[in-house]
Amino acid sequence: SQTIHQWPATLVQPVGSPLSLECTVEGTSNPNLYWYRQAAGRGLQLLFYSVGIGQISSEVPQNLSASRPQDRQFILSSKKLLLSDSGFYLCAWSVPQSEQYFGPGTRLTVT
């Protein structure tokens, strides 16, 4: 069966520091991958998605970037964190033309 992992589970970082969140999927090949951010009391906002290695689409202009160095690995990064980057970050995967399955999430607090 398929499994999706995210780490770290929680992270506290100072403003201006770099960020790297990792997401990996097991049990499937060539998945579509997604990064979402969930702010308190709000729904989920799609940040990036990828339909293949090296193929990244950005949904909103922001202080973040994404990369997909391997088929089942999706990384969310920032060079300098802002306070507004705090939130709950969720990675998801899907096979093409099907529903998405979410990871356990990373709670990021920027201080």
Partner 1 sequence: AQSVTQPDIHITVSEGASLELRCNYSYGATPYLFWYVQSPGQGLQLLLKYFSGDTLVQGIKGFEAEFKRSQSSFNLRKPSVHWSDAAEYFCAVGRFTSGTYKYIFGTGTRLKVLA
Contact positions vs partner 1 (CB under 8 A): 32, 41-44, 46, 49, 51, 57, 59, 90, 92, 94, 96-105, 107
Smallest gap from Cβ 111 to partner 1, in A, equals 19
Q: Which is nearer to partner 1, 18 or 75 (CB)?
A: 75
Q: Which is nearer to partner 1, 18 or 73 (CB)?
A: 73
Residues 6+ away with beta carbon under 8 Å from 93 = 2, 4, 25, 28, 31, 32, 33, 34, 100, 101
Token code pair at residue 46: 């799609």
Say how far apart CA 55 and CA 25 lie, in whole Å: 17
Smallest gap from Cβ 56 to partner 1, in A, equals 12
Smallest gap from Cβ 49 to partner 1, in A, equals 6
Token code pair at residue 37: 């951010």
